[in-house]
Structure formats: structure tokens, C-alpha cells
Structure 1
Amino acid sequence: MSGDEPAVSAPRAWSLESRLPVILAVLAVMALTVVRPPEMRVAPRWVLPAIEVVLLAILLARHPARIGPRAALLRAISICVVGIVLADTFVATVRLIDVLIHGGKATESADQLLAAGAIVWGSNVFAFALFYWLIDAGGAAARADHMPRTLDLAFPQQLDPEIAPAGWRPRFVDYLYLALTASTAFSPTDVMPLVPWAKVSMGIQSLISVAVLGLVVARAVNVLG
């Protein structure tokens, strides 16, 4: 029985992942929402940041890796907030594409155009990182308690345990890196999506990134020309 104790206790050493990266990501999304051009907003400037404050308050009030009776409720609220953020960034992407096609204030100069594209692109990266972090393997609390035998997202450390410490768990920075690579490589790099929700999410994120980067760069070159 004593030989099994390390296998049980090791994962708990990873349970209290730092909240700081997640809090900084939420603040980054809020800042990008505030500075987004009016043509790409769905609601007044203050509406979405006010909704995102709910997620920030949850993160500050309770550690996401703590298990308890309120953990499931708080995770559900967090998913709803991130879902709204994702929907908002998707609409902002559509509006950016419309502005690129039909013209607008954001296309008056290459600087304004590149700034608008960077804001929308960055919002998508942070929003998808938060989404992956909340959904994968049941969320931070579930991952801290135990990792499922079947994975949603397969990280290299999970596919080859010899390259990672015992009880390794993905943390927010791993999901941020996943979101960044999906938005730059337009395909999986080191993290493999194994279930439908992960494949659909990464596919949508890649399509959004292709549309934003491709159209913004092409239009910026046209404006400069």
C-alpha cells in the first residue's frame, strides 16, 4: 500500500496553480475590449468589461484549483462569461472583415488598420486560452484532483511522461501557448485535439486567425501602396 502513496500524493503537488497568469489574461481581454475601435463593438464600451469583472471576481475570491461544493457552480459561471467573450470576439472579427471589404475609419491608415487587427487577433488568443483552460479535463479543480484516462487535449508531457515531473498537470500558460500556436501556425503543433469540442474549437480559432491576419495584411499593403 505504501508503494502507491507517491502516485496519489504527487498530483496534488500541482493542485494550486498560480492564479496570476489567468487574472492577467482576463485583464488583457478587458483592456483590448476597451481600446477596440467603435466599428467593431457589439455594445457600448463598458458592457463587456463589466461582464468580465464577474470572472475576475471569481478568480480573486476562490482559487480555481480548489475542490468544493461551489466549484462546479463557479466554473459554470466562468464558462458562461468566457462564452460571451468568445461570441463578442467572433462578432468583432466579422465586423472587422466587413470594414476591410467595405471600408471604414479603421482602414483610413495602415497604422489604424494594423492596430485594429492586432486588437481583434489578441482578443481571440486570450479568449480561447481561457476557454481551453476552463474546459479541458473538467477544469482546473478536476485536473488537480485527477486526470482522466482519456484526454481531451494531449500535451507532450502526457504522451511521454518521462519528459515531465511526476503528476504533471497543464496550467494556464500551457493553454495560452496552445491558443497562440493555433492562431499563428493555423494547425495543431505540439498539443493534439482528441475530442470533437477540441477539434472544432481549434479549427474555428485557426479560421478566425487566417481571416484576420490574411485580410488585414493584404489591406494594409494596399493602403501603403
Structure 2
Amino acid sequence: MKLAILGGTKIDTMMGCHLFETQLSCQTSAFPVSHSPQEQTRFQTSSLEVKQNTILNLLFQAKEEGCQAVVVYCNSLSASLSFARLEKEVQLPIITPFAAYQKLKNRKIGILAANAQGAAGIEKEIIQHNPNATVYSMTNLDWVEAVEAKKSPEWILHYTGLLASIDFFEQVDVECILIGCTHFPYFLSVYQANTTLLCINPDDYLLEKIRTLSFKGEKGEKGERR
């Protein structure tokens, strides 16, 4: 299966490409929206028309290149538009991390996100499907910039306030922490090693979703050949 990976910047887009190439042997094409985390945040807060036109151009380009599905490998970008509507317009399956959050049944949930756009979008998905949940969010674009600068996970944990987020989540007694930015698996193992709270990585959902799509596609092709 050929996937279009739509990311916020070149770095998270390439992380997404690497994930699906190594875990599922998919062919991928990279479609980063912005050059930097700051530029991506400005894009997410721009007008609806600007966002829709930019993303639609990339989606139609992906379709022309023969991509069979699109993965929006960016939480805050996923929150900025209705990709369900865009999916109908471009006639390609579009998968975002947000469906993973709809299944959570926990009562107290922590969110670790890049910016307020991503945190608000994730909170909306959780509350709409789990109205009794209480959500606690921490955001910091410095974490994203440190990943892009290739700082070590240990350095990010100790010098960007990331370790303090664990203290906060433990003090308010959340049941789990959502890793609500596709840059953050970069330091996830170090982060998880410093807390007993379960850290949920939506990459697992995205992989399973694409695995299912690929299987359905293979079955369809075999049926046509018969």
C-alpha cells in the first residue's frame, strides 16, 4: 500500500514515513505542511479558507501520485480541520490519531501536547465520547523544537520542563497520559521510564488502522482477479 504522510513539519512527516515503512513495509510519500513548528502553529490558527485550500492541494497531489490512503501524522493539524469532510471531497481514506482517543473510558486523563490547538482537539474528542472524563493538559512547543534539533531524550526530559509534567500528572492523579504529539514518541521510552502512569501512544492505533485497510485492499484485489 502506498501512503501519503501529511505532517506538521518535515521532521514529524519523516518520522511517520519511517514508522509505516519499517513496521508495515508500506511505500510512503511525504507531505509536510510547514517548515517549522512555529510556522505550523501559525497555519493552524489561520483562516479556515487558507487551511482548507492548502490541505486540499496536498491531498489532490497525493492522489495524483497514486497514494491509496492518507495518514495525518500530526495531532494539532488533525484538530484544525474536518478531515472527514475533506475525505469525501478528495475520495481517499484519511486516518488521523483522533479516533484512538474516542475509545478511552478512563475518568481522569492527562494530555501531553505540542500546543493548545492539539490539546483542545484531543479534549473535544475525549469528552464527546466519554462525557464523564476529566482532562488535564500540558503543552510546550519547546519539546517539539528540541526533537527537531535532535537533542537527546534525556536532555529534553531534564532541560525543557518535561519532567515537571510527570509531577503534575501524578499529583492530579490521572489514570493515563496521552502522547498527543507525533514528535513525542522520540522521547517516549525515557518519559515512560520515569512514571508508573500508562503512556498511550496513538501510533499503535494508526498502525492497526492501516494494517486493516491494507488487508481489505488485498482481499478486494484477489476478488477482482477471480
TM-score (norm 1): 0.29
The structure that is strand-richer by fraction is: 2
The structure that is helix-richer by fraction is: 1
Select the structure of larger CA radius of gyration.
Answer: 1
Q: Answer 1 or 2: higher relative contact order, Cα 8 Å, separation at least 6.
A: 1
